[in-house]
Amino acid sequence: MTQTQTERTRTFSWTDPREHVNSLASRTGLEFLRAMASGDIPPPPIVQLIDGNELRVQEGSVTITMDPQEFHYNPIGTVHGGILSTLLDTAAACSVQSTLPAGVGYTSMDLNVKFLRPVTVASGRLTCTGTVLQRGRRTALAEARLTDGTNRLIAHATSTCLLFDLPTP
Protein backbone atom coordinates (compact mmCIF):
# COMPACT_ATOMS: atom_id res chain seq x y z
CA MET A 1 0.00 0.00 0.00
CA THR A 2 1.43 3.36 -1.00
CA GLN A 3 1.30 5.86 1.84
CA THR A 4 -0.25 9.01 0.39
CA GLN A 5 -1.84 10.66 3.40
CA THR A 6 0.22 11.99 6.29
CA GLU A 7 -2.65 12.68 8.68
CA ARG A 8 -4.91 9.71 9.15
CA THR A 9 -7.95 11.12 10.89
CA ARG A 10 -11.29 11.93 9.38
CA THR A 11 -14.25 13.92 10.61
CA PHE A 12 -17.40 14.64 8.64
CA SER A 13 -20.88 15.97 9.21
CA TRP A 14 -24.19 15.51 7.44
CA THR A 15 -27.58 17.13 7.17
CA ASP A 16 -30.88 15.79 8.44
CA PRO A 17 -31.98 13.20 5.84
CA ARG A 18 -35.64 14.12 6.43
CA GLU A 19 -34.93 17.32 4.46
CA HIS A 20 -34.58 15.15 1.38
CA VAL A 21 -37.90 13.38 1.88
CA ASN A 22 -39.75 16.67 2.34
CA SER A 23 -38.17 18.09 -0.81
CA LEU A 24 -39.04 14.99 -2.87
CA ALA A 25 -42.75 15.42 -2.29
CA SER A 26 -42.85 18.70 -4.22
CA ARG A 27 -40.21 18.12 -6.95
CA THR A 28 -39.77 15.66 -9.75
CA GLY A 29 -36.79 13.34 -9.37
CA LEU A 30 -34.94 15.30 -12.05
CA GLU A 31 -35.61 18.64 -10.32
CA PHE A 32 -34.51 17.19 -6.99
CA LEU A 33 -31.25 15.73 -8.36
CA ARG A 34 -30.44 18.92 -10.27
CA ALA A 35 -30.94 20.93 -7.07
CA MET A 36 -28.55 18.54 -5.32
CA ALA A 37 -26.00 18.82 -8.14
CA SER A 38 -26.12 22.64 -7.94
CA GLY A 39 -25.73 22.62 -4.13
CA ASP A 40 -29.24 23.93 -3.39
CA ILE A 41 -29.99 20.65 -1.60
CA PRO A 42 -27.21 19.00 0.42
CA PRO A 43 -26.01 15.55 -0.60
CA PRO A 44 -27.40 12.59 1.34
CA PRO A 45 -25.39 11.29 4.31
CA ILE A 46 -24.06 8.26 2.37
CA VAL A 47 -22.41 10.49 -0.24
CA GLN A 48 -20.79 12.51 2.55
CA LEU A 49 -19.69 9.29 4.27
CA ILE A 50 -17.82 7.95 1.24
CA ASP A 51 -16.56 11.45 0.30
CA GLY A 52 -18.24 11.50 -3.10
CA ASN A 53 -17.88 14.72 -5.05
CA GLU A 54 -19.28 15.83 -8.42
CA LEU A 55 -22.84 14.93 -9.44
CA ARG A 56 -24.02 15.34 -13.05
CA VAL A 57 -27.67 14.78 -13.90
CA GLN A 58 -29.77 14.45 -17.01
CA GLU A 59 -33.07 12.66 -17.45
CA GLY A 60 -32.38 8.92 -17.39
CA SER A 61 -28.69 9.21 -16.50
CA VAL A 62 -26.70 10.24 -13.44
CA THR A 63 -22.93 10.44 -12.97
CA ILE A 64 -21.15 10.64 -9.61
CA THR A 65 -17.40 10.91 -9.05
CA MET A 66 -15.14 10.02 -6.15
CA ASP A 67 -11.42 10.24 -5.50
CA PRO A 68 -10.19 6.99 -3.89
CA GLN A 69 -8.70 7.57 -0.45
CA GLU A 70 -6.89 5.34 2.04
CA PHE A 71 -9.95 5.34 4.31
CA HIS A 72 -11.76 3.44 1.53
CA TYR A 73 -9.23 0.58 1.71
CA ASN A 74 -9.85 -3.00 2.75
CA PRO A 75 -7.18 -5.05 4.61
CA ILE A 76 -5.26 -5.87 1.39
CA GLY A 77 -4.73 -2.23 0.38
CA THR A 78 -7.38 -1.73 -2.30
CA VAL A 79 -10.69 0.14 -2.23
CA HIS A 80 -13.31 -2.03 -0.55
CA GLY A 81 -15.87 -3.56 -2.91
CA GLY A 82 -18.66 -2.16 -0.75
CA ILE A 83 -17.53 1.38 -1.57
CA LEU A 84 -17.49 0.58 -5.29
CA SER A 85 -20.90 -1.10 -4.97
CA THR A 86 -22.23 2.00 -3.23
CA LEU A 87 -21.14 4.15 -6.18
CA LEU A 88 -22.73 1.72 -8.65
CA ASP A 89 -25.98 1.49 -6.66
CA THR A 90 -26.15 5.28 -6.29
CA ALA A 91 -25.62 6.00 -9.98
CA ALA A 92 -28.05 3.30 -11.14
CA ALA A 93 -30.80 4.14 -8.64
CA CYS A 94 -30.47 7.91 -9.07
CA SER A 95 -30.74 7.47 -12.84
CA VAL A 96 -34.13 5.89 -12.11
CA GLN A 97 -34.98 8.75 -9.76
CA SER A 98 -34.26 11.24 -12.55
CA THR A 99 -37.29 9.85 -14.45
CA LEU A 100 -39.81 9.94 -11.57
CA PRO A 101 -42.63 12.43 -11.02
CA ALA A 102 -43.00 14.37 -7.76
CA GLY A 103 -44.18 12.22 -4.87
CA VAL A 104 -42.76 8.96 -6.22
CA GLY A 105 -39.81 7.22 -4.55
CA TYR A 106 -37.75 4.14 -5.24
CA THR A 107 -35.62 1.55 -3.52
CA SER A 108 -33.13 -0.93 -4.90
CA MET A 109 -34.53 -4.45 -5.11
CA ASP A 110 -31.26 -6.00 -6.28
CA LEU A 111 -27.80 -5.06 -7.41
CA ASN A 112 -25.69 -7.40 -9.54
CA VAL A 113 -22.06 -6.23 -9.53
CA LYS A 114 -19.08 -7.45 -11.53
CA PHE A 115 -15.64 -6.23 -10.39
CA LEU A 116 -13.01 -6.18 -13.14
CA ARG A 117 -9.96 -4.39 -11.66
CA PRO A 118 -8.67 -3.38 -8.23
CA VAL A 119 -8.80 0.29 -7.25
CA THR A 120 -6.19 2.22 -5.22
CA VAL A 121 -5.46 5.90 -4.69
CA ALA A 122 -3.26 5.65 -7.80
CA SER A 123 -6.35 4.80 -9.91
CA GLY A 124 -7.31 8.46 -10.07
CA ARG A 125 -10.78 9.93 -9.97
CA LEU A 126 -13.51 7.31 -10.30
CA THR A 127 -16.49 8.13 -12.52
CA CYS A 128 -19.68 6.15 -12.19
CA THR A 129 -22.52 6.63 -14.68
CA GLY A 130 -25.94 5.08 -14.31
CA THR A 131 -28.47 4.78 -17.10
CA VAL A 132 -32.10 3.69 -17.08
CA LEU A 133 -32.69 0.72 -19.37
CA GLN A 134 -36.42 0.29 -18.81
CA ARG A 135 -39.05 1.81 -16.52
CA GLY A 136 -42.51 0.47 -15.87
CA ARG A 137 -45.25 1.50 -13.48
CA ARG A 138 -43.83 -0.34 -10.43
CA THR A 139 -40.26 -1.32 -11.33
CA ALA A 140 -37.30 0.04 -13.29
CA LEU A 141 -34.11 -1.54 -14.59
CA ALA A 142 -30.85 0.43 -14.71
CA GLU A 143 -27.18 -0.21 -15.30
CA ALA A 144 -24.04 1.54 -14.05
CA ARG A 145 -20.45 1.62 -15.26
CA LEU A 146 -17.48 2.61 -13.09
CA THR A 147 -14.26 3.83 -14.71
CA ASP A 148 -10.91 5.00 -13.33
CA GLY A 149 -8.87 8.12 -14.08
CA THR A 150 -7.69 6.68 -17.41
CA ASN A 151 -11.24 5.67 -18.42
CA ARG A 152 -10.63 1.92 -17.87
CA LEU A 153 -13.72 -0.03 -16.87
CA ILE A 154 -13.34 -1.02 -13.19
CA ALA A 155 -16.77 -2.52 -12.48
CA HIS A 156 -20.30 -2.60 -13.83
CA ALA A 157 -23.70 -3.42 -12.37
CA THR A 158 -27.38 -3.84 -13.11
CA SER A 159 -30.08 -2.90 -10.65
CA THR A 160 -33.83 -3.33 -10.36
CA CYS A 161 -35.66 -0.63 -8.42
CA LEU A 162 -39.11 -0.78 -6.87
CA LEU A 163 -41.17 2.39 -7.43
CA PHE A 164 -43.69 3.56 -4.81
CA ASP A 165 -45.70 6.58 -3.72
CA LEU A 166 -43.97 8.60 -1.00
CA PRO A 167 -45.92 9.30 2.20
CA THR A 168 -47.13 12.86 2.42
CA PRO A 169 -45.06 14.94 4.87
C-alpha 44/C-alpha 50 separation (Å) is 11
C-alpha 169/C-alpha 161 separation (Å) is 23
Q: What is the mean pLDDT of residues 23-49?
A: 91
Inside any domain, residue 74 = yes
CATH of the domain at 54: 3.10.129.10
Of the candidates 95, 77, 96, 93, the one whose C-alpha atom is nearest the C-alpha of residue 85 is 93
- Looking at 37-41, 142-146, 147-151, which range is the least confident one? 37-41
Inside any domain, residue 147 = yes
Q: What predicted TM-score, i.e. pTM, was given to this entire model?
A: 0.92
Cα four-point dihedral sign 48, 49, 52, 58: negative
- Identify the domain containing residue 62 by its residue range: 18-165
- Looking at 15-19, 114-118, 143-147, which range is the least confident one? 15-19
Please work out, in degrees rounded to the nearest 5, the angle formed at the alpha carbon of residue 55 by the alpha carbons of 43 and 19.
20
